[in-house]
């Protein structure tokens, strides 16, 4: 009888610890509500999830359809990108490369440091209602914490894009922590022409925070069908639908 009682106590202690460990682990993981690109936790419902209200009520949301932009001679975007370790991971919503410190853009006399870049399939921004195959977002932050995102549309062509190949050859299929996979230079991922559209928008994922300076380059980058398919195999759909412009300025740099 005594042995049984001891086994009983041990079992209770083990179970109790297991519950504690589980609670701590899931607490870290689920500090913010889970969201998806489809279904009951999809974009139409993000605003109903705790902490993501701006996704539903915000009047300056991203992405948008780019149409009827006002052409102006705007301040150029000055890119100052250097090579970085390619710290690539699948965060459950996209494939992201965390970028080493030391790369930045300067726009309107403000310097924004490159933090990471990631991909969407199909594109989030559309041009005259037409999506591109994919879109890459270079996410930058200035000293005050303001965000500027450079978006580039990725379209399908015949040839593999050599500059993008190191990334598309190392796409993690499952959710993962950042892992260094050689080196990459974000400068090699840009088109030749740095003309752009610009507007004030938001993060395109929860919590949909506004005040983001969007700089969408007009020249797309060409990837092969195989490269696009490699990403689509992992993320068939990870693009938020376009949001209303709501009287915001949408400008096009005409050089």
Closest CB 93 distance from Zn ion, rounded Å: 9
Between 93 and 170, CB nearer to Zn ion: 93
Please tell me the distance from the alpha carbon of residue 87 to that of residue 60, in angstroms, as a whole number.
Answer: 31
Between 125 and 137, CB nearer to Zn ion: 137
In three-state secondary structure terms, 232 is helix
Which window, 26-34, 136-144, 157-165, 190-198, contacts Zn ion (CB under 5 A)? 136-144
Which among 243, 247, 237, 195 is positioned nearest to 93, based on CA atoms?
Answer: 237
Closest CB 116 distance from Zn ion, rounded Å: 10
Between 22 and 132, CB nearer to Zn ion: 132
Which window, 63-71, 130-138, 187-195, 234-242, contacts Zn ion (CB under 5 A)? 130-138
Residues 140-199 that bind Zn ion (CB under 5 A): none
Which window, 8-16, 17-25, 29-37, 137-145, contacts Zn ion (CB under 5 A)? 137-145
Which among 239, 152, 163 is positioned nearest to 195, based on CA atoms?
Answer: 152
Instruction: State the alpha helices, DSSP H only, in 107-239.
Output: 165-168, 225-232
Which window, 36-44, 62-70, 135-143, 222-230, contacts Zn ion (CB under 5 A)? 135-143
Instruction: List, in order, residues 6 or more apart from 78 with CB less than 8 Å away.
Output: 105, 106, 107
Between 63 and 168, CB nearer to Zn ion: 63
Cα atoms in the Cβ-side hemisphere of radius 13 Å centred on 73: 1
Closest CB 133 distance from Zn ion, rounded Å: 15
Please tell me the distance from the alpha carbon of residue 92 to that of residue 41, in angstroms, as a whole number.
Answer: 14
Q: Which residue is nearest to Zn ion (CB)?
A: 137
Between 194 and 216, CB nearer to Zn ion: 216
Closest CB 238 distance from Zn ion, rounded Å: 9
Q: Among residues 121, 125, 137, 213, which is the contact residue for Zn ion, using CB under 5 A?
A: 137
SS3 of 126-145: the string is EECCEECCEEEEEEEECCCC
Cα dihedral sign, 82-83-87-93 = positive
Contacting positions for Zn ion (CB under 5 A): 137
């Amino acid at each position: 009888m005594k042995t049984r009682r001891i086994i009983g106590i041990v079992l209770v202690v083990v179970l109790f610890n297991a519950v504690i460990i589980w609670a701590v682990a899931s607490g870290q993981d689920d500090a913010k509500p889970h969201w998806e690109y489809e279904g009951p936790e999809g974009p139409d419902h993000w605003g109903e999830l705790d902490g993501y209200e701006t996704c539903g009520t915000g009047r300056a949301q991203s992405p948008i359809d780019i149409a009827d932009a006002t052409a102006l001679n705007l301040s150029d975007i000055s890119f100052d990108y250097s090579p970085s370790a390619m710290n690539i991971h699948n965060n459950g919503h996209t494939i992201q490369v965390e970028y080493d410190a030391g790369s930045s853009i300067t726009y309107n006399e403000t310097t924004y440091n490159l933090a990471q870049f990631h991909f969407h399939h199909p594109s989030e921004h559309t041009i005259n209602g037409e999506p591109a195959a994919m879109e890459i977002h270079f996410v930058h932050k200035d000293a005050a914490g303001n965000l500027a995102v450079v978006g580039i549309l990725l379209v399908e062509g015949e040839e593999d894009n050599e500059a993008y190949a190191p990334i598309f050859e190392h796409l993690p299929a499952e959710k993962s922590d950042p892992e260094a996979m050689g080196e990459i230079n974000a400068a090699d991922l840009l088109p030749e022409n740095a003309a752009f559209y610009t507007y004030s928008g938001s993060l395109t994922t929860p919590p949909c925070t506004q005040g983001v300076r969007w700089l969408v380059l007009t020249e797309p980058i060409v990837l092969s069908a195989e490269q696009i398919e490699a990403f689509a195999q992992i993320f068939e759909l990870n693009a938020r639908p376009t949001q209303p412009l709501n009287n915001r300025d949408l400008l096009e740099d005409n050089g």
